[in-house]
Structure 1
Amino acid sequence: MTIDSPGALLRRYGLQARHSWGQNFLIAAEVHAAIAIASEARPGRRVIEIGAGLGTLTDRLLATGAEVWAIERDRDLCAVLRAELGDRPNFVLHEADAVRFDYAAAIAGQAEPVAIVGNLPYQLTGPLLFALLEQAPHAGPWVVMVQKEVADRLCARPGEDDYGGVTAVLSRMRTIARVRNVPRGCFLPAPRVDSAVIRLDARPEPLGGPVADEAGLRHLVRTAFQQRRKVLINSLAALGSRAEAQAWCAAAGIDPGVRPEKLGPEQFAALQRAREASGAGAA
């Protein structure tokens, strides 16, 4: 790496981490390397980095020869990125909010699938993952740092305690695997929780087959898990009537007395198709 450590950069530019923005700068070079390797960054491939921060991961990605599009909303950090990395021909900085960034435009026209990486702020993990799911469902891989408890949930399987609605929705479109755990001491300042790097790869086809309305499917899953201790028919009744919920379960071949956490993406897709067939499938 040719860029200084986060601590040295903060001192040089007279900056401090913004706690209100969830800024914790990764200082472990071996984790930077693991992310770069997992992203398959290489010459000819575009990599979008969410939350470039002080540029330490950016520098590692640039060293692979990849074209790096760095997204950063903090004006002070953007000034650091321009000063430290602005002369690299394969570096493009976007001063923007990552949740509202136009990922669809960023991946359009690329010969290779665009990799997306980043240390996701804990409070924005869900919005960012769903923004990627909406705009870049076939991009990949996604290699992101999340809170360890979030990684546990995303890597869980149906029937396990950590399994939930977000996992059901994301795993329909992506395979999800843990790259490595990252202790809190790998950050400056150290957060109160540990983290993990996960990799999400696009599936050739959505798990469970196509549905007419993906937004409707997501709404169904959210509704099912709002009170996860309820049996399925009681949760689904919020989308119509109990009789309708019974009919959807019957059409999908699913026991209406099962709890939502027992169902995988395939079963939720079947339920959504049953709702659509009955004319009640829109979100």
Structure 2
Amino acid sequence: MPEANSNALAKIPTPRTLLKRYGIFARKSLGQNFLADINIARKIVELSGVSPQETVIELGVGLGTLTCALAEKVSRVIGFEIDKNLINILEKENFLPENVEIRQGNILKLDYQRLFEEIAKPLILFGNLPYYLSSRLLWRLVEQRKIINFCTFMFQKEVAERLSAMPGSKNYGPLSVLLALTARVEKLMQLSPGCFYPSPEVHSTVVKITFLNKALPNEKVLVALLKAAFSKRRKKIAANLKPLGLTKDQAKQLLLSQGLSPDLRAEQIPPEKYLALACALEAKAS
């Protein structure tokens, strides 16, 4: 790993300085709120527990603060950024360490399988994720979890609450269930709006997601079940299962077969019961 110069990195231009220098503005359409403090970035990297010999994928490089902190710690950083203007700034300023490679790309469209083959190890992902794509990206990463070691992401606090929500909570939903069944979710630290530039209106949470269960029985059925069950949260779950090809009576019988009352709502059913329902649905169809 190249020897990182921490003193030099401590003097990298701030996002505010860089945006002003090049006469551009953060793009709300891309959810751009840049991490502004290299010391906060170092703490995030340290809390993640990433090892020095690793190659890390950064999703959304922004203006390079987290990138530099990662480069101090790990062997190689491959960073993806959709905004060509930001890539041009980073290339002109030339403060990123030599073990960093920046590639233009949309993180919702990356070929994670190809990255896995390139690195020849399960992926380690970092990123400051904008609100508008957090859930969509996580659904995709859960699908790709066989080739992922762990992810350390900054989420808006509301999104982070959903990821580890318990049954009965208003934040409990399909992603809560899937992650409970497949991963360990750890909240590493809270970040105030002042940690970013421009400052968002909400607080953020740094979350580490370590995938443990690489395969679930009847996973496609489970995902379809979850989407149907939570489609109308105020209704009783038996009324929500019609898209699965069940009449209301069939839905009630399915629920009763797993010891569940048809009068329950989706948020009242624990993850392991959803898995049992998916297995029962698959058995019924075969």
TM over 0.5: yes
Are 1:223 and 2:228 matched, yes or no?
Answer: yes
Aligned residue number for residue 14 of structure 1 = 23
Q: Does the residue aligned with 2:241 lie in a helix, a strand or coil?
A: helix
Q: 1:47 to 1:85 in 2, by over 3 A?
A: farther
With 141-150 and 169-178 compared, the bigger mean Cα shift is at 169-178
Aligned residue number for residue 92 of structure 1 = 101
Q: Does the residue aligned with 2:207 lie in a helix, a strand or coil?
A: strand
5 Å-filtered alignment, 1:231-270, equals 231-239=236-244, 240-270=246-276
**What one-letter code is carried by the residue in structure 2 that aligns with 1:230?**
K
Q: Does the residue aligned with 1:156 lie in a helix, a strand or coil?
A: coil
In structure 2, C-alpha distance between the alignment counterparts of 1:87 and 1:58, rounded to whole Å: 8
Aligned residue number for residue 89 of structure 2 = 80
Q: Residue 35 of structure 1 contacts residue 117 of structure 1 at CA under 8 Å; is this kept in 2?
A: no
5 Å-filtered alignment, 1:108-147, equals 108=117, 110=119, 112-147=121-156
In structure 1, C-alpha distance between the alignment counterparts of 2:40 and 2:151, rounded to whole Å: 15
Deviation at 1:28, TM superposition (A): 2.9
In structure 1, C-alpha distance between the alignment counterparts of 2:120 and 2:84, rounded to whole Å: 32
1:253-273 CA distances to partner (integer Å, 9 max, x unpaired)?
333222211222211111111
Q: Residue 120 of structure 1 contacts residue 146 of structure 1 at CA under 8 Å; is this kept in 2?
A: yes
Aligned residue number for residue 190 of structure 2 = 181
Q: Which runs of 5+ in 2 are unaligned?
A: 1-5
**What one-letter code is carried by the residue in structure 2 that aligns with 1:189?**
P
Q: Does the residue aligned with 2:47 lie in a helix, a strand or coil?
A: helix
Deviation at 1:143, TM superposition (A): 0.7
Are 1:166 and 2:175 matched, yes or no?
Answer: yes
Q: 1:261 to 1:138 in 2, by over 3 A?
A: farther
% identical equivalent positions: 34
Q: 1:77 to 1:249 in 2, by over 3 A?
A: same
Consecutive aligned runs of 4 or more in structure 1 exceeding 6 Å deviation: none
Q: Residue 38 of structure 1 contacts residue 199 of structure 1 at CA under 8 Å; is this kept in 2?
A: no
In structure 1, C-alpha distance between the alignment counterparts of 2:63 and 2:220, rounded to whole Å: 36
Q: Which runs of 5+ in 1 are unaligned?
A: none
Aligned residue number for residue 207 of structure 2 = 198
**What one-letter code is carried by the residue in structure 2 that aligns with 1:9?**
L
TM (norm. structure 1) is 0.89
5 Å-filtered alignment, 1:47-86, equals 47-85=56-94
Residue from 26, 32, 45 that aligns with 1:36: 45
Q: Residue 122 of structure 2 contacts residue 148 of structure 2 at CA under 8 Å; is this kept in 1?
A: yes
Q: Does the residue aligned with 2:148 lie in a helix, a strand or coil?
A: coil
Deviation at 1:112, TM superposition (A): 4.8
With 144-153 and 32-41 compared, the bigger mean Cα shift is at 32-41
Residue from 147, 152, 162 that aligns with 1:153: 162
**What one-letter code is carried by the residue in structure 2 that aligns with 1:69?**
I
> What do you get for the CA RMSD once the two structures are aligned?
2.1
Deviation at 1:34, TM superposition (A): 2.7
Q: Residue 26 of structure 1 contacts residue 186 of structure 1 at CA under 8 Å; is this kept in 2?
A: yes
Q: Residue 103 of structure 1 contacts residue 136 of structure 1 at CA under 8 Å; is this kept in 2?
A: no
**What one-letter code is carried by the residue in structure 2 that aligns with 1:29?**
I
In structure 2, C-alpha distance between the alignment counterparts of 1:172 and 1:38, rounded to whole Å: 24
Aligned residue number for residue 278 of structure 1 = 284
1:49-90 CA distances to partner (integer Å, 9 max, x unpaired)?
111001111011001133111010100111123334587442
Deviation at 1:110, TM superposition (A): 4.4
TM (norm. structure 2) is 0.88
Aligned residues: 276
